[in-house]
Amino acid sequence: MTRFAVILCLICTACAFVLVLRPNAWDHANTKAQTDAELFAGLIAQPDRIGWRLTEDLTLKRAMLWDAVSTLRYPVPDGFTPVLYEFSEDETRTLTKRQSENTGQFWEQFDTAGEQLLYCSATPSACLIYDRSALAKSLGLRGNALRRAGHDHLWSALLLGLAAFLGSAAYWLFHRERQTSQQFVLLPERHTAMRGGLEVLLNARDLKILLLLEERNGAVVTKDDLYDAGWGRDFMPNSRALDQHMINLRRKLDPDKTRPNLIETVHGVGYRLLR
């Protein structure tokens, strides 16, 4: 389970960084729109040239421009503007209100079908209507690249959030599994020990040695004391007998070698139980 969570975490993180680092379609759109807005602002006193510009650029549908004191300058109030580039009274009121509240730049869908995109900038003060498909094509983007502003960044944020959650879950699972695998309970009356979910059968010598190690509560137990407990005071100790027994005991307590060390060797002295 822990490994699965870690793998998912890495995949989500990688995908999020791919989304963040790859070229953003809206960055390209912003560059073009800001350039167009500045161009139109420079032509604000020449409305006929604005009309020609709209005719030449197939990505642009209409434009609305205000001067430095927020006076509408294009379409020309009470003047001549090609019908194709006019706005209805409702549209004019709506855009004028939106622009008065705008302090930066924004994109949004302008029509119900989603074929037109509205771009507004505070400096210069302009709102431009683009043909979504034509704009994407002119920028060399796939057809649906400009469907929703900030789409890639939203997904990257969600993926990074999911990666953080999975990373935390993996960390918690790892420590829980580690704690579970370290749990050691000695059951003398049954001649067994529980190591996590593993039940270990113990012979009489195993039990005596483990009882002494547990009694010392993490303190080092000398080899002489372990010999006395396991073999008796009359036993003539063989330097390898205890070491070999400890190797076999460790193997019993961790047959698949996946658990933390339970019995630590203190070289030249003896052994101690790690809890």
Tokens of 191: 């001649």
CA-closest candidate to residue 74, choices 14, 155, 129: 129
| pLDDT tens readout for residues 181-201 | 568 899 999 999 998 788 999
The model carries a pTM of 0.51
CA-closest candidate to residue 77, choices 61, 60, 90, 64: 64
CATH code of residue 204: 1.10.10.10
Could you say which of 129, 149, 169 is where a domain stops?
A: 149
- 238 pLDDT higher than 90: no
Look at residue 78 in the predicted model and tell me its pLDDT.
Answer: 81
Least confident window among 80-84, 135-139, 166-170, 197-201: 166-170
**Helix and strand tally (H, E) in the chain?**
9, 11
Instruction: Say yes or no: 33 and 99 in one domain.
Output: yes
Cα–Cα distance, 29 to 118 (Å, whole number): 11
Least confident window among 72-76, 179-183, 255-259: 179-183
Structural domain contains residue 10? no
- 10 pLDDT higher than 80: no
| pLDDT tens readout for residues 202-235 | 999 999 999 999 999 999 999 999 999 999 887 7
Tokens of 83: 């019908």
Q: In what order do the strands lie in the sheet with 198-201?
A: 184-187, 192-195, 198-201
Cα–Cα distance, 65 to 99 (Å, whole number): 10
Q: How many domains does the chain have?
A: 2
Structural domain contains residue 5? no
Name the burial class of residue 170, with classes exposed (0-12), middle (13-18) and buried (19+) by CB atoms within 10 angstroms of its CB: buried
Cα–Cα distance, 146 to 24 (Å, whole number): 10
CA-closest candidate to residue 114, choices 100, 98, 135: 135
Instruction: Say yes or no: 195 and 125 in one domain.
Output: no
Structural domain contains residue 262? yes
Could you say which of 107, 132, 149 is where a domain stops?
A: 149
Structural domain contains residue 255? yes
User: Residue 106: helix, strand or coil by DSSP?
Assistant: strand
Query: Domain residues for 266?
Result: 183-273
Instruction: Say yes or no: 128 and 193 in one domain.
Output: no
**pLDDT band of 148, cuts 50, 70, 90:** low
Cα–Cα distance, 26 to 209 (Å, whole number): 71
Instruction: Say yes or no: 124 and 191 in one domain.
Output: no
